């Protein structure tokens, strides 16, 4: 807004024109980096983010030193803005920051089981179109309009994603499960119910913080085993659910889940066992399918307890 207002104005405002263009072109690539920080702040600092920040700082220094020579842009003594011969440096940095944001969004969205991926593609398409317009038509100043709308769209995207997640485990939450099952019409999949065995004893013996650690560890195992082939949910205190897209994947995913549990148990020695049961999604009422999976899960739980009791009797004998 400032650059538009002061360009071609009296020469005494030339310094305002220079400063506003420097800030505009200098900070545009920094905005996507701020979005990456907000999205991935739990895992920062990361080497890639540090490298991106260093590139932005180096670019700002280069940009400042280039102003007297008009390398990126120049403002004449009559206070008229023109692009410099090295304006492409700004374009490259801006495109690179958008690509970095896009890659970060795709990677993070994959970790969140791709539930908001439909919002990514329009967002990236919008950014590409507006940026091309800015480069192709220098008289149009749309970079910061693009950044402003990017902020709104990104806020919408983050809200959509965070509202679907369970804060403790990072799995999809109960609301997401209810929304998903309400719109399900397909068949051929599988609903798998999970319940942590004797979880109350974990809280009583080790405390609620360790209980939370157990839930987070089990959720991580579920995600590693099932997320590539379905959606993983935490639907209650120690209750989890997976909507598997292909029933043929059940055995392989179950084996991987048990393997991941054993791996986690090396670090969290008191990690409890997990009971599970499944039922086919054949186009019928999802509530009935869930009840069927729960029955299978509790049957599995009772069978395990009976085997454990029989083993103790044999050992005493």
Looking from the CA of 88 toward its CB, the CA atoms found within 13 Å total 2
- The pLDDT score that the predictor gives to residue 252 is 94
From CA 144, how far away is CA 147, in angstroms rounded? Answer: 5
Write out pLDDT tens, residues 46-67.
778 888 899 999 999 999 999 9
- The pLDDT score that the predictor gives to residue 11 is 86
- pLDDT higher at 2 or 218: 218
From CA 175, how far away is CA 181, in angstroms rounded? Answer: 10
- The pLDDT score that the predictor gives to residue 153 is 74
Write out pLDDT tens, residues 99-152.
888 788 777 777 677 555 666 677 677 777 776 776 677 666 666 677 777 777
SS3 per residue for 48-76: HHHHHHHHHHHHHHHHHHHHHHCCCEEEC
**Model confidence at 43: pLDDT above 70:** no
**pTM for the complete prediction?**
0.68
């Amino acid at each position: 807004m400032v650059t538009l207002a002061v360009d071609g104005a009296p020469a005494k405002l030339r310094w305002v024109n220079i400063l506003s263009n420097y800030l505009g072109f200098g900070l545009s690539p920094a905005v996507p980096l701020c979005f990456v920080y907000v999205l991935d702040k739990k895992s920062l600092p990361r080497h890639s983010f540090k490298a991106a920040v260093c590139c932005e700082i180096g670019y700002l220094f280069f940009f400042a030193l280039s102003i007297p020579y008009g390398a990126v842009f120049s403002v004449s003594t009559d206070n008229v803005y023109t692009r410099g011969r090295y304006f492409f440096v700004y374009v490259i940095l801006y495109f690179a920051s958008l690509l970095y944001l896009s890659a970060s969004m795709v990677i993070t969205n994959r970790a969140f089981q791709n539930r908001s991926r439909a919002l990514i593609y329009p967002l990236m398409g919008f950014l590409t179109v507006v940026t091309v317009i800015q480069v192709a038509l220098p008289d149009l100043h749309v970079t910061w309009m693009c950044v402003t709308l990017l902020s709104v769209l990104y806020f919408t995207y983050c809200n959509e994603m965070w509202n679907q997640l369970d804060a403790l485990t990072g799995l999809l939450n109960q609301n997401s499960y209810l929304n998903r099952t309400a719109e399900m019409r397909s068949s051929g999949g599988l609903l798998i119910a999970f319940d942590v065995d004797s979880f109350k004893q974990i809280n009583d013996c080790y405390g609620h913080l360790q209980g939370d650690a157990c839930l987070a560890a089990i959720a991580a195992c579920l995600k590693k085993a099932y997320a590539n082939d379905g959606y993983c949910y935490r639907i209650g205190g120690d209750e989890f659910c997976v909507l598997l897209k292909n029933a043929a994947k059940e055995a392989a995913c179950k084996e991987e889940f048990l393997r991941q549990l054993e791996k986690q148990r090396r670090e969290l020695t008191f990690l409890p066992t997990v009971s599970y049961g499944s039922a086919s999604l054949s186009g019928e009422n999802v509530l009935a399918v869930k009840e069927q999976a729960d029955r299978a899960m509790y049957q599995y739980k009772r069978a395990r307890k009976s085997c454990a009791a029989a083993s103790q009797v044999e050992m005493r004998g």
